[in-house]
Structure 1
C-alpha cells in the first residue's frame, strides 16, 4: 500500500500541471497530473506535500487546503491512498522538474489534456468546491471501472 500527496497549485485561473514524460517506469507516463509524490518514512501528509512540491517545482508552499483522500485500486499497481490538496499560497521561482514538463494551464483547458478518468472526477469536485471528500477509484489497466464518493456509487 502506498501513501502519497497530490497538489494543484492555483494562480490566476490556472493550475500548475506536470506532464509525466521523463521517468522510465511510471504509472502516470504521458498523463498530466498535479505535483506530489510518495510519503517518506515518518512523514505526515503536510510534510510530504511541502517536500514534494519543493522537489518537483522549486516552489515553497506557504498555505494549502486539504480537499480529499482518493483511494486508487488497480489491477496493475499497488493500492494507493492519495491525500489531495490545493494551494494558491507559495513563493519562489518555478524550476524544471526531473519527472516531466511543468506548465501553467487555464483551468478551463485542463479537461482537454490526457488525464486519468478518475482525475477528471476529482478535478470536477475541486471545481465545484466540494467539501472534503473520500473518493475510491477502481481501475482495470487504464480503464476506470468503478467509483464511489463518500461510500456511495459515483457515476463515471
Structure 2
C-alpha cells in the first residue's frame, strides 16, 4: 500500500471584528448550502496562506492579515480522494464588506449563530474554531453513514 493519495485542499476563515461579531456567508452552493464562513479551493502551487487571503477577499471584499491555522476538517470523497479543509481565524482585516456570487456576507453576534439556517454540521465544526483544545473535525465513514468525530 502506497503512502500517497489524491487530495483536495480547501480553506475556511472565521473573521472577527472589534465588536466580537463574526463574519458569515449565506452560501448558495447546492452541495453545502447555508450559513458558514468564507473560503474555497487552494490552487495548485499556491501557498495555504495566500489561498485563504485570496478566497476571503474574493468572497467578502475584505483583505485579511495574519490568518492563524486553528484546525482541520477532513473526509474521503466518493472518488476516494481526501478532502481537507484548513480552518483559519483572524481579527485583522481592512476593506469594505461586499457580497459575491458565493453568497451574501454579513456580521452576526457569536451567540446568535444557532438562530440561522446553518450548513450541515457547521455548529460542530464551529467548535474547532473556538475551542483551543480541539484541532480536527473528521467524518468517519460507517457503512452508508458518516459520523462526525471531533479531536
Q: TM-score, normalised by structure 1?
A: 0.79
Change (3 A) 1:121 1:112: same
Q: Residue 72 of structure 2 contacts residue 137 of structure 2 at CA under 8 Å; is this kept in 1? A: yes
User: C-alpha distance in 1, partners of 2:76/2:35?
Assistant: 19
Q: Does 1:27 align with 2:63?
A: no
Q: Residue 128 of structure 2 contacts residue 136 of structure 2 at CA under 8 Å; is this kept in 1? A: no
Q: TM-score, normalised by structure 2?
A: 0.81
User: C-alpha distance in 2, partners of 1:107/1:100?
Assistant: 19
**Structure 2: unaligned runs, 5 residues or longer:** 1-6
User: C-alpha distance in 1, partners of 2:50/2:39?
Assistant: 11
The aligned length equals 143
Q: Residue 128 of structure 2 contacts residue 137 of structure 2 at CA under 8 Å; is this kept in 1? A: no
Equivalent residue number for residue 23 of structure 2: 16
Q: Render the CA deviation track for 1:21-59: whole Å, top value 9, x for unaligned.
A: 3x5xx3123x11100100111112111101101111111
Q: Does 1:104 align with 2:107?
A: yes
Q: CA deviation at 1:76?
A: 9.1
**Structure 1: unaligned runs, 5 residues or longer:** 151-156
Moved more, 52-61 or 112-121: 112-121
Cα RMSD of the aligned pairs, angstroms, is: 2.5
